[in-house]
Amino acid sequence: MEEAFKFQVNNQDFTVNCHPGTSLLTLLRQLGWFGVHRGCDRGDCGACTVWVNDIPIHSCIYPAMRIANQSVTTIEGLSENGELAPMQQAFLQGQGFQCGFCTPGMIMSAAKLPFASPEELRLALKGNLCRCTGYQAIIESILPTSPSPSLHLSDRVSPNKTVQQLSQAKHLTPQILCHLVYYILKYCDRLILTLTSAKLTANQPKHSLALLLSSLMQMSPG
Ligand code: FES
Ligand code: FES
């Protein structure tokens, strides 16, 4: 028998009638919140993750009736005044997605995960599956959001992110400079190979490096 109850989704009030067997996932999609994705529909993949009173849950196995007088947040409710939330921004910046199907659930889980190391993060994310198997980019997107100072620089930055930051920045910021120095030191052998394969004087690596640095210098700190 249907029952009526009230609840909130993304700070909007709703009054609904629903059957006891209805899942929160089904109810949310019926109400038009299509950012909540239906993957396995049995609690395995995390594509349907939303927050109930700020706690991430798999909405496909959560009875809709338990939401009476509670508050739900979906991926649509994360941004404020058109501004992406920090975790959304982190996924965008780190290119932490391929087809994007798992992404709303990943972001809803990641934004609430406690972790102090990359290993802990991988474990904590076990409730969210990516069918494109793009886990490395996902992990690299989330790691820089950690407040933990114990994470090593190599765990907090990625070459893709640094190149992206470099292309978007008007000035060479200390953070970008620090990442560049890190990669130049880490990959100096590959860097020289790249420069030489680009037909820059193969027997003059110093000259090649000077060319690279002079192009970097054109972005003078502001
Ligand atoms: S759709 Fe809910 S966990 Fe897969
Ligand atoms: S990005 Fe395609 S399922 Fe994760």
Cα(128) to ligand 1 centroid in Å equals: 9
Atom of ligand 2 nearest to the CA of 98: 1
Residues 127 and 182 in one domain: no
pLDDT of amino acid 1 = 79
Q: Which two tokens stand for residue 163?
A: 């190149």
Q: Which residue ranges have their beta carbon within 6 Å of ligand 1?
A: 38-41, 43-48, 58, 60
Residues 54 and 120 in one domain: no
- Which pLDDT value is given to residue 221? 38
Domain final position from 152, 174, 196: 152
The pLDDT score that the predictor gives to residue 114 is: 84
Q: Say yes or no to pLDDT of 170 above 60.
A: yes
Q: What is the pLDDT of residue 188?
A: 59
Fill in the DSSP letter of residue 179: H
Q: Are residues 144 and 201 both part of a single domain?
A: no
Same domain, 136 and 173: no
Ligand closest to Cα of 57 equals 1
Separation of alpha carbons 209 and 192, rounded Å: 7
Whether residues 189 and 136 fall in one domain = no
Q: Please give the C-alpha separations between residue 162 and each of 105, 123, 165, 174, in angstroms, as whole numbers.
A: 26, 26, 5, 12
CA dihedral over 123, 124, 130, 133, signed as positive or negative: negative
Q: Is 13 strand, coil or helix? A: strand
Counting ligand 1 atoms within 8 A of each CB, the residue from 26, 34, 40, 102 with the most, and so the one to mutate, is: 40
Whether 96 has a pLDDT exceeding 80, the answer reads yes
If asked whether residues 101 and 147 sit together in one domain, one would say yes
CA of 217 to the centre of ligand 2 (A): 38
Percent of the chain with pLDDT over 70: 66
Lowest mean pLDDT among 57-61, 81-85, 173-177, 214-218: 214-218
* Nearest CA, atom 2, ligand 2: 99
Parent domain of 142:
86-152
Q: What is the mean pLDDT of the chain?
A: 82
Higher pLDDT, 69 or 180: 69
> What's the rounded mean pLDDT across residues 17-25?
95
Is there a single domain that holds both residue 137 and residue 167?
no
Shared-domain flag, residues 145 and 172: no
Q: Is residue 79's pLDDT more than 90?
A: yes
The pTM score is 0.69
How many residues in total does the chain contain? Answer: 222
Q: Which residue has the higher pLDDT, 161 or 200?
A: 161
Residues 181 and 207 in one domain: yes
Q: Tell me which residue has tokens 């109850």.
A: 5
pLDDT of residue 222: 31
Q: Which band of pLDDT confidence, cut at 50, 70 and 90, is reported for residue 105?
A: very high
Based on the domain organization, do 147 and 164 belong to the same domain? Answer: no
**Residue located via tokens 């972001």:** 107
Q: Mean pLDDT check: name the lowest of 34-38, 104-108, 136-140.
A: 136-140
CA of 106 to the centre of ligand 2 (A): 9
At residue 134 the predicted structure's pLDDT band, cuts being 50, 70 and 90, is: confident
Share of residues in the chain with pLDDT > 90 (%): 57
Residue 9 alpha carbon to ligand 1 centre in Å: 19
Domain boundary among 152, 177, 209: 152
- Ligand 2 centre and the CA of 101: distance in Å? 5
In a domain, 222, yes or no: no
